[in-house]
Structure 1
Amino acid sequence: MEEERKIRTLAEKAISESDELFIVDVKVKGNSGNQKVLVFVDGDNGISIDACSKISRMVGAEMEEEDFMPGKYTLEVSSPGLDYPLTLHRQYVKNVGRSLVVETLEGTNIEGELLKVGKDEIFLKGPAEKRSIKFEEIKQSKVKVSFK
């Protein structure tokens, strides 16, 4: 979607001074004239509310100046949260040591501790074995939330 591409460009500009922050996703939901713009930003060491607010102000000001969103809209800038699937290599690296649930393209769910992230694959330690899974075989990965 053209609007999402433009908003991503604005968000990338807003974080350009930080090597630590990265854009995970940009989504525009709703109907023209009443839309919700979601910008998901993360950092190698997490992201603060203050950083999200700063990015939101910068992106919002640019969106108003360029006036490319017709009608009214709501802009939300936040971290993706634990229930959001991992989509970027950088997210996997950030989550080494955590438990993941990986759904393969074949429909198999594999749980295990993320031991290492390679260029083309991840390495998990499950209850019985260690195994590697190629990124191209992964449909979706999520951090397994544990309340201990």
Structure 2
Amino acid sequence: MEEKRIREIAERVISDDRDLFLVDVKVKGNEGNQKVLIFVDGDNGISIDQCSKISRQVGAEVEEEDFMKGKYTLEVSSPGLDFPIMLHRQYVKNIGRSLVVETVEGEKVEGELKEVKDEAIELNCNQEMRSLKFEEIKQSKVKVSFK
């Protein structure tokens, strides 16, 4: 209930900025000592100032509605590179980057994301194009390179 309501509040708070989108909401811990994590991204990234503004607005509404029992902390941040890609919009944002994709069958596919279609992504894997349907993908992450 809490997670769903926080998601609704966060989506409404960011709806004014068409560049931003909600990636995920997690509520961890036990009643009276919970941590609320809100992950927001933007087509052109998200700034610390934007995260702070979202945190203040969501926090104010949560306090006003008073549905969180006891003490809690609220954190708003971007998902980070180690966070799996979850949304179609995140794939689009990462065109041109190297991805590591784990398929539902356990295969690891690495390649540069070239195209995102409605039902699949196209990766350039060592000069060979590979198409993976979203239903075949268990998890995708941006490959971090320190060149």
TM-score > 0.5 by shorter chain: yes
Alpha-carbon separation, structure 1, partners of 2:127 and 2:106 = 20
- Give the match for residue 6 of structure 1: 5
Return the letter of the residue paired with 2:73. Answer: T
Give the Å deviation of 1:16.
Answer: 1.3
Structure 1 position 127, deviation (Å): 1.2
Structure 1 CA distance, aligned partners of 2:103 and 2:15? Answer: 34
- Distance of 1:3 and 1:111 partners within structure 2: 37
In structure 2, the residue matched to 1:138 is 137
**Post-superposition shift, 1:104?**
0.1
RMSD of aligned alpha carbons: 0.5
* 1:41 maps to 2:59: no
Deviations 1:82-124 (A, max 9, x none): 0000000000000000000000000000000000000000000
Q: Which runs of 5+ in 2 are unaligned?
A: none
Q: Which moved more, 1:120-129 or 1:30-39?
A: 120-129
| Alignment coverage as a number of residue pairs | 147
The residue type paired with residue 121 of structure 1 is A
Superposition TM-score, scaled by structure 2 size: 0.99
Shift >2 Å, 4+ stretches = none
- The aligned counterpart of 2:77 is 78
Distance 2:16 2:62 in 1: 19
Instruction: Report sequence identity in percent.
Output: 73
In the other structure, the counterpart of 1:124 is: 123
Secondary structure in 2 matching 1:72? strand
Q: Does 1:90 align with 2:99?
A: no
Q: 2:111 is aligned with what amino acid? A: G
